[in-house]
């Protein structure tokens, strides 16, 4: 295959639109080019990569298995291009002094914003970029250099990163004030039997461990509600169930 160039990226973009819409006419309409331009780009791309992407049957284009795999790679390429574009815009706006932080949802709505606030108070010239990802995504992104630091739930493993434990907490069970479990000083796993449980709907190591323990010990929940972690306390206060969460959140 020839070296990747701007023209190659343009061809990948046309291929992506064609794959998603199934016809050259529709792709041409969406891209604002001629149908022959779409066909010519596809032909050049197939010559470049060395295998067909579509089978031509009358007026129909049928994607090959290779096209399906290439489409996944093109999606990743386009995502990387979007991230690069964002980085260029940020460099233009803030320069190279940007400090890039990523955090899991459970830390992103209070704990990390407080840290960022303290950083800015300490150094008003610092420029911060902050994003919310899952633990696995954060590890991969910091390893790839997309972020300078990440805040996740342990345990994680990486041969490329320096890992420091900055906080240890015990889980807390939250419930409405008038809930029967509010009379308990300590909540055990068995105490959850027969009650509704509110859990995060995003990847969450602590919640996953809790659900595994519930299954292992045969705890019979009355029901389970999945929600964004930022809304769990509100849902619990409205009587939708109890939840077991990290107190930092």
User: Is residue 155 reached through a cis peptide bond, with omega within 30 degrees of 0 on the bond before it?
Assistant: yes
Structural domain boundaries of the chain?
6-87, 95-151, 172-245
On the question of pLDDT at 150 being above 70, the answer is: yes
CB atoms within 10 A of CB 247: 9
- Note if the pTM is more than 0.85: no
Query: Which CATH architecture does the domain made up of 95-151 adopt?
Result: 3-Layer(aba) Sandwich (3.40)
> How is residue 239 written in tokens?
């009587």
Architecture of domain 172-245: 3-Layer(aba) Sandwich (3.40)
What pLDDT is stored for residue 93 in this prediction?
66
Cross-strand pairs, 199: 226
CA 132 to chain centre: 7
CATH architecture of 6-87: Orthogonal Bundle (1.10)
Give the contacts of 8 (CB within 8 A, at least 6 positions apart): 2, 45, 48
Q: Residue 141: phi, psi to the nearest 5?
A: -70, -40
Q: Per-residue pLDDT for 8 more than 80?
A: no
Contact between 42 and 15 (Cβ < 8 Å) = yes
Among 56-60, 61-65, 164-168, where is mean pLDDT lowest? 56-60
């Amino acid at each position: 295959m020839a070296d990747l160039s701007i023209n190659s990226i343009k061809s990948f973009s046309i291929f992506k639109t064609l794959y998603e819409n199934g016809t050259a006419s529709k792709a041409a309409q969406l891209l604002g080019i001629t149908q022959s331009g779409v066909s010519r780009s596809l032909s050049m791309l197939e010559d470049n990569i060395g295998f067909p992407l579509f089978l031509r049957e009358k007026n129909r284009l049928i994607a090959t298995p290779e096209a399906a795999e290439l489409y996944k790679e093109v999606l990743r390429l386009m995502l990387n291009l979007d991230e690069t574009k964002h980085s260029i815009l940020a460099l233009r706006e803030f320069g190279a002094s940007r400090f890039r932080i990523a955090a899991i949802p459970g830390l992103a709505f209070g704990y990390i914003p407080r840290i960022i606030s303290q950083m800015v108070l300490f150094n008003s010239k610092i420029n911060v970029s902050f994003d919310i990802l899952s633990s696995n995504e954060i590890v991969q992104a910091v390893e790839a250099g997309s972020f300078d630091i990440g805040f996740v739930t342990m345990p994680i493993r990486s041969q490329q990163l320096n890992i420091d434990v900055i906080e240890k907490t015990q889980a807390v069970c939250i419930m409405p004030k008038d809930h029967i479990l509010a009379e308990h000083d300590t909540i055990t796993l068995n105490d959850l039997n027969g009650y509704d449980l509110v859990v995060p709907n995003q990847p969450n190591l602590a919640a996953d461990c809790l659900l595994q323990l519930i299954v292992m010990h045969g705890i019979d929940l009355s029901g389970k509600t999945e929600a964004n972690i930022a809304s769990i306390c509100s849902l619990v206060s409205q009587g939708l169930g109890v939840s077991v969460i990290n107190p930092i959140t």
